[in-house]
Amino acid sequence: MASPSYATSTELDAVNYILMSVGESPVNTLDTQSPEVAIAQNTLRQICREVQSEGWVYNTEYEFPFVVDSNDEILIPPTVLQLDVNRYKHADNYDVIQRNGKLYDRYSHSYKFTNIDTLYCDVVWFFEFPDIPQSFRDYISARAARIASTRMVSDESASKLLAADESLLRALALEYDTKQADYNIFNSSDLRNPYTSYKPFQALSR
């Protein structure tokens, strides 16, 4: 059975959603000189990046290997939004940040990693709009529509209606994330940090 064409949305669909939210007519292509389309598309891409920066189950990866290159440096792909050393692999041996497209270790005050071949990190990735789950596409579109509305129209009543839609769709995105990640108050999401409750026989060790 053929899938319905409206089961998933495209970037064009999202831009048209934003345009209609501010009272503009939809377009058939994004290759246009319309300033309204440009504002809508830029706003959508900005919000897509902001939302994904929060880190969700679909774009967070643990213990991702970064290989040290021939210059003893680690280059960072432009699609990395957040990154931190995985403590299970490296304990507290490194304190890395992103700087100039490379990893910088604040402990050694250097870009050089001479004692290892691979550094394992927990990463939050950026994905293009068509590559993210539909619930997040809907949420990002609604949030972008609200932001674009304040930029293009400044209608307080319309902003309130769009904010209500945004809240509903964020809740659906959170529901998706919760179901997919199997979060648990007793374990971390990667099941590597089990909660240890108090046991009387451990009193001396405490």
Question: Predicted confidence band at 8 (pLDDT cuts at 50, 70, 90)?
Answer: confident
Model confidence at 206, in pLDDT bands (50, 70, 90)?
very low
Full-model pTM: 0.84
Taking only the tens place, the pLDDT of each residue in 85-99 is 998 899 889 999 999
Count CB atoms within 10 A of the CB of residue 54.
13
**Tens digits of per-residue pLDDT, 180-194?**
987 776 655 554 554
Q: In this structure, what is the dihedral angle of CA atoms 110, 112, 114, 118, given to the nearest 10 degrees? A: 120
Strand pairing of 102-105 and 60-67?
unpaired
Average pLDDT over residues 67-85: 95
| pLDDT tens column, 94-113 | 999 999 999 999 999 999 99
The Cα 96–Cα 104 span in angstroms is: 5
Rounded to whole angstroms, how far apart are CA atoms 147 and 109? 40
